[in-house]
Amino acid sequence: MNDNSIFNRELLTDGCFPVTKKYYYKEWKDFSMPFHSHNAVEVMYVISGSCLIQTRNSSFEMRKAELIFINANVEHRLQVSDGRSCRMFNLEFGFDRTGSLLPSFAHMIEGSSSLLYLVASKTPFFVSRDTEEVYITLKAMIMELDRKDEDSRLLLENLFLQLLVKLARLFKEKARSKHPPSLIHVSRALEYIHHNYDRQIQIRDIANAANVNPSYLQRIFKEEKRNTINEYLTALRINKAKALLSDTGIKISDINEYVGISSREYFSFVFRKHTGMAPAKFRDNSQLTISSS
């Protein structure tokens, strides 16, 4: 492809897939790179030490577990001076029409709000601190790139999809951090709820995870989500229960424990209130729908 920018409109048509152009580890010492650009998207990940990365208009002091995502054809340079050293991993990738076992980049964007957000932003680069998720994926990609056995293609494509979504998430989270603090608190609360709905959690637990006072959290949560925390949590639990009833063979008498409701009787009451039918009836209807389709 002539233009490997992630903003290239060709990528929005079906049939374009991410492919690795170059990858390497390198420890830099007392090094100054001239400004340059290449027709590939680049991810530079600092493994240890520190360095300075510059674009024509910006400078970034990079340290361990930080990364920079640079779009294709953006001029930049690396500097490691004053006796410092920096061990780094670089990955350069572009796009091709060679075919893939996984969705095209266009379909990836359709399926990921974070990727859509990144592409719509038209940012030439961004810097972020990693939560180690990106580096874990990068290391797995390196193993498969070096191994090149019969399974490598499928694994690599899967890992590439993970990498792009994780990078896009980091970008989106950083953009969100510029939003009012209340939105950050609500976002943290939602993350905690979705990771812990199967346990007996209280509002104070959610507030602790969001690092905010419980009464304040309840107010800003209601303003943002148009539901109280308990209403949101209950609706989430019922939706999870519906999925378990429809898609698994878990005993109905055990479903309540999978969604964080201790009492079977209370679970049945709440489920009927939200769906208009008992759990057993919901399962029977789901099975009838599957058998008739």
Q: Mean of the per-residue pLDDT values for the chain? A: 89
4 belongs to a structural domain: no
Query: In this structure, is residue 251 part of a structural domain?
Result: yes
pLDDT of residue 198: 94
Q: How confident is the model at residue 17 (pLDDT cuts 50, 70, 90)?
A: confident
264, 195: one domain: yes
Same domain, 135 and 243: no
| Same domain? 39 vs 152 | yes
Q: Are residues 221 and 162 in the same domain?
A: no
Would you place residue 180 in the very low, low, confident or very high pLDDT band (cuts 50, 70, 90)? low
Fill in the DSSP letter of residue 128: E
Q: Are residues 92 and 14 in the same domain?
A: yes
Residues 186 and 171 in one domain: no
Least confident range of 127-141, 148-162, 236-250, 279-293: 279-293
Last-in-domain residue among 175, 191, 211: 175
Check whether 202 has a pLDDT greater than 90.
Answer: yes
Residue 233 has pLDDT above 90, yes or no: yes
- Check residue 67 and give its pLDDT: 95
pLDDT digit string (tens) for 59-69?
999 999 999 99
Give which of 232, 236, 237 is closest to 220, Cα–Cα. 232
CATH number, domain of 280, equals 1.10.10.60
Task: Let me know if residue 69 belongs to a domain.
Answer: yes
- pLDDT tens digit string along 243-280? 999 988 999 999 999 999 999 999 999 999 999 999 99
Q: 152, 175, 198: which is the final residue of a domain?
A: 175
- Residue partners of 202: CB distance under 8 A and separation at least 6: none
What pLDDT is attached to residue 152?
84
- Same-domain pairing of 220 and 143: no
In order of 49, 54, 76, 261, the CA distances from 35 in angstroms are: 22, 8, 5, 59
pLDDT for 31: 93
Rg (CA), the chain: 24
Looking at the fold, whether 271 and 127 belong to one and the same domain comes out as no
Count the Cβ atoms, other than its own, within 10 Å of residue 217.
Answer: 24
Identify whether residues 59 and 194 lie together within a single domain. no
Q: Are residues 67 and 35 in the same domain?
A: yes
Give the total number of structural domains in the chain: 2
Residue type, 184: I
Q: Specify whether 213 is located in the same domain as 110.
A: no
User: Backbone phi, then psi, for 93, in 5-degree steps?
Assistant: -140, 155
191 and 168 in a common domain: no
Residue-number span of the structural domain to which 262 is assigned:
182-292
Determine whether 162 is exposed, middle or buried from the number of CB atoms within 10 Å of its CB (0-12, 13-18, 19+). middle
Domain boundary among 175, 192, 215: 175
Whether residue 179 has pLDDT greater than 80: no
Torsional sign, CA 87, 166, 33, 58 = negative
